[in-house]
């Protein structure tokens, strides 16, 4: 077992970024380094650790809580009011201690402030760059900046396809066409992701790409001192 994962499962609240990301995406775990910027030592049960935006029924949050049962900090499921009404009080969410919050990311400023991670899974490809910019601009006021790479700043972690500039595989290309037709969205290349983040005053920290199928993670944050 990964030393950082074993430590977290035994009660150490310092969770490595790579381990956290790997806890969501098992197929990507083998490409994540064994040591990354620490997610932070979250002190106090009321401090938000991770907010899953557009989380549906919260399967990823439940999985995270099972992997790190002793990690301090709130796990928060956010979705539209109709979804929250459906899942509120669900036994599996209650047992995992997951909070539920109604949130419309196009029309509301992010209500959960100062979380260590704001997580999107297959959400942003449904939106054009213009609409994605609205999502990020509504999120930014809730984020904490970093200073000299010290712990305490917020991360955006987006799980999406990250397309190569050319010779993309057929599945992400078909998905790109589908989201364009049905949502006016798109799958993005690294350059497109970087341009999008930069346009709203965010900085891409790293792309975590699973070579072969194009699945990956975009890690971003506020620039230092903002």
DSSP string, 159-214: EEEEE-SS---HHHHHHHHHHHHHHS---EEHHHHHHHHHHTT-EEEEEEE-TTT-
* 125 tagged catalytic: yes
In this structure, the chain runs to a length of: 226
Across the chain, the runs of DSSP E, i.e. the strands, are: 14-16, 38-41, 48-53, 74-79, 98-102, 117-121, 155-163, 188-189, 203-209, 215-221
* Closest-CA residue to 25 (of 220, 213, 221): 213
Q: Say whether 156 sits in a helix, a strand or coil.
A: strand
* Number of other residues whose CB lies within 10 A of the CB of residue 169: 13
CA distances from 76 to 29, 52, 122, 169 (A): 23, 6, 17, 34
Which one of the listed residues 2, 59, 125, 210 is annotated catalytic?
125
Distances (CA, A) of 104 to 69, 80, 83: 29, 6, 11
Annotated active-site positions, please?
125
């Amino acid at each position: 077992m990964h030393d950082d994962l074993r430590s977290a499962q035994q009660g150490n609240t310092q969770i490595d970024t790579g381990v956290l990301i790997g806890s969501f995406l098992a197929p990507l775990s083998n490409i994540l380094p064994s040591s990354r910027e620490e997610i932070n030592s979250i002190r106090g049960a009321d401090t938000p650790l991770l907010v899953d935006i557009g989380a549906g029924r919260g399967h990823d949050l439940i999985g995270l809580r099972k992997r790190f049962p002793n990690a301090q900090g709130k796990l928060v499921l956010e979705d539209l009011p109709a979804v929250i009404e459906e899942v509120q009080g669900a036994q599996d969410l209650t047992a995992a201690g997951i909070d539920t919050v109604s949130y419309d990311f196009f029309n509301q400023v992010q209500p959960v402030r100062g979380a260590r991670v704001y997580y999107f899974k297959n959400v942003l490809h449904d939106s054009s760059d213009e609409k994605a910019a609205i999502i990020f601009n509504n999120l930014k006021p809730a984020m904490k900046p970093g200073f000299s790479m010290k712990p305490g700043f917020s991360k955006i972690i987006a799980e999406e396809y990250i397309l190569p500039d050319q010779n993309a595989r057929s599945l992400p290309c078909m998905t790109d066409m589908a989201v364009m037709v049905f949502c006016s969205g798109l799958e993005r290349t690294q350059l497109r992701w970087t341009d999008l983040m930069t346009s709203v005053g965010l900085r891409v920290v790293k792309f975590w790409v699973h070579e072969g199928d194009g699945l990956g993670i975009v890690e971003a944050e506020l620039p230092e001192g903002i």
